[in-house]
A and B are shown apart, each in its own frame.
Chain A
Amino acid sequence: MIRNSAPGSSRELLRNHAHALDRLELVSRTPGSIPGVGRRRGSRTGSSVDFADYRKYNSGDDVRYVDWNIYARLRKLFLRQFRAESELAVHLLLDTSNSMDFGARNKLRFAADLAAALSYVALGRQDRVGLATFSDRLHHVLPPQRGSRHLPRILSLLESARAAGPSDLEHAFRAYPARASNRGLLVVLSDCFCAQGYQTALRCLAFAGFEVVVIRVLAEEELFPSFDEEAVELRDLEDAGAPGLTVGHEALERYRREMDTHSRTLAAFCSSQGVPFVQTTSSLTFEELTYRLLRAGIWRNR
């Protein structure tokens, strides 16, 4: 399924860890919304092997589903009903703003690898996977599709993704529901650094009917910055024209506290909205990342 992989690319990641990913599936609190041949149980009855309920026989019903054992005991006709199979639409929203182009191990590349892994897992469960990149607006949108042939398109888009533009979550997230035909699990892969805030943006997605999951990607240098000089002049990656900010060593500790507060506030907001939240750093290994997402309930072993 994965061929022509370049070293360090998402394809190589999937090839190296396909065996582990094959045993995982994405966790969705809502049943599959798309009737079809998916491996998820739908909210409706249908033609699967999973027994769901009985109901009285009505004329015209298929007699193949009559439970003759019950008829023998009760002399009444009941039909056996089964769960209908459905598909889950998984929407991956990848932040490609300039702030993602940061870190000794690039945050954008890390998030792209994570998106590839999620796509691989979802497609392996016959779910539909869509991918969109955004910064202050939506850039590329791949509508959710099913099947192994969709994975190369996703990987191509991930590999071609480049950081550009400032971040505006609200503007991008307001536009996405209109572009998505199906609701389902929506995974936001972003550092959540947005001057306009993230609260309204996440509320928009939830209001549009998505089951939102936020995976925050940060760099180690963002959590624990340091510099040798007595003071440095900081420049914002997303706003090159903004005046610099000169800080000294005395600001490092305060920054760490501010970052911690920011993370706690985001986690608390997500919790209040029922949105699963995971914070990762780009320095994590695949195994560490897998374990962290397992603990957060983003995916699980099948």
Chain B
Amino acid sequence: MALMNPTALLYALLIGALVLIHFRRRSRTTVRVSNLQLWQAASQAREAQPMLERPRADWLLAVQVLFLAAVILALTRPVVWVRGAQPRTVVLVMDCSASMNARERGGTRFDLARAKARALVNQLGGEDRVLLVEARSRPTMRAYPGSERAALGRALEALRPSQAPSDINEAALLALASVPKGEPVEVLVFSDGTKDALVSDKALAGRVRYVQTGETDGNLAVTRLAVRSNPLSAYDSELFAELANLSSQPRECRLELRMEEAVLFDRTVSLAPREKKAYVAALPAGREGIIRAIIHADDEFDVDNQAYAVAGPRKFSVLLITEGNPFLEKGLQVNPRVVGSVAGPEDWTAASRERYDVVILDGFVPPVLPPANYLVLRHGQPAALLRGIREPALLRPEHPVTSLVDLSNVVIEQAVAVEVPPSGVALMSGGGQPLMVASEAGAFRTVEVGFDVRASNLPLTASFPVLLSNMLQWLGSSSPGESGQISAGTPLRWRVPAGACDGKAAVVPPGGTTVEVPVSDGIVAFERTDTTGVYEVRCGAAIQRTAVNLLNAAESDIRPAAPADDPAPLLSAPAQQARAGADLHGALLSVACLLWAAEWLYSSRRATRRPVRALPGT
């Protein structure tokens, strides 16, 4: 037997107090008698009245002590150890990623995984605890350890695969966090074993059992679709699409690119195994609309056979605070997607940034920066200057800010090292110090440059307008929805124009059911983007359309990457060992109730006994 709450034994001091109170001399009822002599002869020596009376047998005290002992023992929560099957805690992590929609023999991969999970639940004992975690882009607990099996079954049947990637690791960690520390737990991940679904977290190593579902690998996918500026004409746009054959066999399909109902591209393409091909189509100038890339192929996974894009996103409003910088002013003027304004440092107010998507601070940094998207160009103090930097290095060429930027032959006369914040990344370095840093804080982005462009030959190179355009594009699209395209499962956010609506916006998902969402701090946030398609956000007269695509080569690669199923049983045999069995506190409380009743009966009987007897013979 063990005590689950041994500190309750401290209440045993009450027993000592009870005994002391019992033996403490009580104030007696005084009775006057006609003659004390006979009483003195009849009574024992009780004249001495010490503080404590002589202990004597008292059933009432015994019952009271037993009652108190029973209550205290119940408070300690005693349990008896019994040998038997120890209840297991099993966590079922159901992968609801897009790849689970892939067709297999007998249904989709998710149907097969659910059948395996259902069979496993039926094998569990009645005392086993089961957690059900739905692994989507954001994992959700669907059944808790205390849930009934029927509720668990209903929750399992209610699960549906999404059209977005999932985070298996986070789902498994969430499940483990729900289990008391130190308690043995078996985590079973029902997944198709695509690369993203593999559990690779160190904290989960050795604690997760992988239940693979899926065998097919024949899939063609649209892995990229983007509307970008025509490199030959800044005023024209073109459509860029990338196809991938993710199967082990050569495949052929028909690729169709449409803008609304107009067909921009329609061609049958052949792809070798693991081959990717990019296709470009010119977009009509000045037109806006929904663009779709469609693969007409007979593969096992449909979600990635279509991709969407929105042509003609709105222009950015940019405020340039400078004492005069012709390069920056010119760069803003030539960018067709930018509506620029120029002001001097003396015109800066905290409120002025609210009307602009991006604020450029050229050699001017106010003491307090209110939340906004900033491009900060530090001219630096002479004491901290780095001088004569030749050909600074691009640290992250793939970053949207430095994409397609070439810094060859660039010379920076003087610069200052930029501090890298925890949420920032250094994009450019020179003289061993970071010269350009991009960072994100909440919904806003900042690019900090450690030199004055006028003190370098960068504005004279072809990379300058590209770099400036990248910066403004990245800063202006800090809200993913504003770039016109987000990945499925990523929250859709859109900073609504000031005064466009009063606190509420309407989101129309691809299904067509309008959802009303609040506008908080001028931003509309919508998280249920697990379905691919075009989402339309309406805020008064303002309308923002955002394409939600899978566009995830790893998710589209539906080849099972995990090893085949382990022949060992999914669940370990329940341990036959001593474990906490029956909790005795209920029985002890029952005993305490009986003792209490006995005490009441005994005391009431003692109070009513010894009536005055009649005089014999009268």
Q: Which residues of A approach B to under 8 Å, CB–CB?
A: 98-100, 102, 107, 191, 193, 195, 219-239, 242-252, 254-255, 257-259, 262, 281, 283-284, 288
Contact = CB atoms under 8 A, between A and B. Distances in A.
B41 A258 contact: yes
B43 A195 contact: no
Contacts of A242: 36
Please classify how large the interface on chain B is, using the bins under 10, 10 to 19, 20 to 34, 35 or more: 20 to 34
Interface in B6-53: 26, 28-44, 46-47, 49
A227 B39 CA distance: 14
18 contacts: A102-B33, A224-B613, A228-B610, A230-B606, A231-B28, A232-B29, A234-B36, A235-B31, A235-B36, A243-B47, A244-B47, A245-B36, A245-B43, A246-B28, A247-B39, A247-B42, A255-B39, A258-B38
Given A219-B34, A227-B29, A233-B29, A258 B42 contact: yes
B203 to A, nearest CB: 68
Contacts of A225: 33
A247 B46 contact: yes
Contacts of B541: none
Contacts of A247: 39, 42-43, 46
Nearest to B610: A226
B615 interface: yes
Given A226-B612, A251-B39, 17 more contacts: A100-B34, A102-B34, A222-B35, A223-B615, A224-B612, A226-B611, A228-B610, A233-B29, A233-B31, A234-B32, A234-B33, A236-B33, A246-B47, A247-B39, A255-B39, A255-B43, A258-B41
A251 B44 contact: yes
Contacts of A102: 32-34
Nearest to A228: B607
B344 to A, nearest CB: 100
B618 interface: yes
Nearest to A191: B34
B618 A259 contact: no
10 residue pairs, one from A and one from B, having the closest CB atoms: A254-B42, A233-B28, A255-B42, A99-B34, A236-B36, A193-B35, A251-B43, A102-B34, A246-B46, A247-B43
Given A228-B607, A283-B618, A245 B47 contact: yes
B618 A288 contact: yes
A105 to B, nearest CB: 12
A153 to B, nearest CB: 29
A221 B37 CA distance: 15
B29 A220 contact: no
A259 B33 contact: no
Contacts of B610: 226-228, 249, 252
Nearest to B60: A230
Interface of B: 26, 28-44, 46-47, 49, 606-607, 610-613, 615, 618
B46 A255 contact: no
A220 B615 CA distance: 7
Nearest to B31: A232
B238 to A, nearest CB: 106
Contacts of B39: 234, 245, 247, 251, 255, 258
A80 to B, nearest CB: 50
Contacts of B44: 250-251
Contact of B35 (A99, A233, A281, A284): A99
Contacts of A227: 29, 31, 610
A233 B618 CA distance: 30
A155 B81 CA distance: 88
Contacts of A100: 34
A283 B615 contact: yes
Nearest to B56: A248
B31 A193 contact: no
B64 to A, nearest CB: 14
Nearest to B613: A224
Contacts of A255: 38-39, 42-43
Q: Find the residue from A231, A234, A243 having the highest chain B CB count within 10 A.
A: A234
Nearest to A226: B610
A238 B39 CA distance: 14
Contacts of A195: 37
Contacts of A251: 39, 42-44
A21 B271 CA distance: 145
A74 B615 CA distance: 66
Contacts of A244: 28, 30, 47
Contact of B33 (A107, A228, A237, A254): A237
A189 B529 CA distance: 113
Contacts of B611: 226
Contacts of B43: 245-248, 251, 254-255
Contacts of B36: 234-236, 239, 242, 245
A64 B35 CA distance: 64
A247 B39 CA distance: 8
Contacts of B32: 102, 234-237
